[in-house]
Amino acid sequence: MKLSDFDIDFNKFKNEKDSFKFQLKDTFFELKDNSLFDQGEVEVIVKCEKFENTLVLDYSLNGHINSLCERCLNDIKIKVNSVRQDVLKLTLNDDLLKEENYLSINHPIFSVYDPIYEQICLDMPTRIICKNSLTQYECKINHPNAHKNNAVDERWSELKKLIEK
């Protein structure tokens, strides 16, 4: 898999509408430097609709990302299920081409890699823990020092009595 696999050339559209299907595997995440995720399987369908000077892209993502629980470090799968829409404007103005949602009329090629990666990141929960995974188990953490009996120092207990008064 390479970045050019995610380029959509709007000049080659047969109709005003077209759709593209991508099966994202581990190689998808390897394309991004310092990717937040390494493994996963996500199916992406991009439906494109071309108007006179506007392009509408509807994304549908469905699958999962493999990760580690932030609490117990167990392997978990986080569900990815979202939709997104991008509207791109076609223009000849060089100043507008520096903006995010503008494409040149003469060279209307758009890479959907970054929007797909961004949507996967946005779909992730803020805490990647077992409770938010597909299995929805509770983390079971066994700390070896958690059940240690702490001896109570009598001096502190006498001081605590003063606070209570």
pLDDT at 21: 94
pLDDT at position 30 over 80: yes
- Is the pTM value of this prediction over 0.75? yes
- Name which of 96, 140, 87, 141 is nearest 115 in CA terms: 87
pLDDT > 70 fraction of the chain, expressed in percent and rounded? 91
- Name which of 39, 9, 25 is nearest 112 in CA terms: 9
pLDDT at 118: 92
Domain ranges of the chain: 3-143
Structure tokens at 103: 């494409």
pLDDT at 72: 86
For the stretch 114-165, pLDDT in tens is: 999 999 999 898 888 888 888 877 887 766 665 555 666 777 777 777 777 6
pLDDT at position 89 over 70: yes
Buried b (16+ CB within 10 A) or exposed e, 40-67: bbbebebebebeeeebebebbbebbbbb
State how far the Cα of 71 lies from the Cα of 139, in Å rounded to an integer.
7
Query: Band of the pLDDT at 78, cuts 50, 70, 90?
Result: very high
Range in 6-15, 67-76, 140-149 the model is least confident about: 140-149
pLDDT at position 110 over 70: yes
- Measured CA to CA in angstroms, residue 141 lies from 71, 77, 149, 160 at distances of 8, 19, 18, 32
Say what the alpha-carbon torsion angle 115, 120, 123, 125 is, to the nearest 10 degrees.
-140
β 39-50/54-68 pair status: antiparallel
